[in-house]
A and B are shown apart, each in its own frame.
Chain A
Amino acid sequence: AQKITQTQPGMFVQEKEAVTLDCTYDTSDQSYGLFWYKQPSSGEMIFLIYQGSYDEQNATEGRYSLNFQKARKSANLVISASQLGDSAMYFCAMREDPNFGNEKLTFGTGTRLTIIP
């Protein structure tokens, strides 16, 4: 079974609208972390936001927020007031196994977001 599932291969959104990118995950660990990364056409991976499994509040970073629903095992990324520069691939990722030094990530297949002027 997929550990990280991103069901939207591509999305088109009008500039200035809010957008939600879906991510569901599968783990039996009690302690885990969820991440979102942005990959623009230039190719680099840019860290956006992190949510720990024990965090009670949803994470926010500027225009990015993570809608964390633990019981549903979902960690959707919400981008408010989208901008043309938000056009990119977005990857959801999970860190399981909190052993010291073992912070390796499992990634989803990504969602390509295109912002329309």
Chain B
Amino acid sequence: NAGVTQTPKFQVLKTGQSMTLQCAQDMNHNSMYWYRQDPGMGLRLIYYSASEGTTDKGEVPNGYNVSRLNKREFSLRLESAAPSQTSVYFCASSEQGTDTQYFGPGTRLTVL
């Protein structure tokens, strides 16, 4: 049982490049989330998806887009990466009506 998986684990981009972070869960959860973690700031919500086909903005959505491809997969896209987007990105999932979110291992992104 893999839980929540994320690819890639590490990525270095140049300013202006684009990339997509992939997330998949095998727990049949309806809700999925993308967070970023910056030093000294805890985790902040970027986007979330309550169910397949729906997405909503979180606290820090600017510069990102998301796609809920199906129930299992929720991707995060950076169209034109900026150094301010250097961070560790976590995907999480939860079952609606429950309170526990399960996190993936994270993607460490550096934008030069």
For residue A60, CB closer than 8 A to chain B, the reply is no
Count of A-B contacts with CB under 8 A? Answer: 66
A104→B103 CA distance, assembly (Å): 13
Would A44 and B31 count as touching, CB distance under 8 A? no
Chain A residues with Cβ below 8 Å from B62 are none
> Given A44-B106, A45-B90, A91-B43 in contact, is the A105-B101 Cβ separation under 8 Å?
yes
For residue B61, CB closer than 8 A to chain A, the reply is no
Chain A interface extent, by class: 20 to 34
Could you say which of A11-19, A75-83, A94-102 contacts chain B?
A94-102
Chain B interface extent, by class: 20 to 34
Would A50 and B42 count as touching, CB distance under 8 A? no
Kindly provide the distance from the CB of B38 to the nearest chain A CB, expressed in whole angstroms. Answer: 10
Using a CB–CB cutoff of 8 Å, the interface residues on chain A facing chain B are: 4, 33, 35, 37, 43-47, 50, 52, 91, 93, 95, 100-110
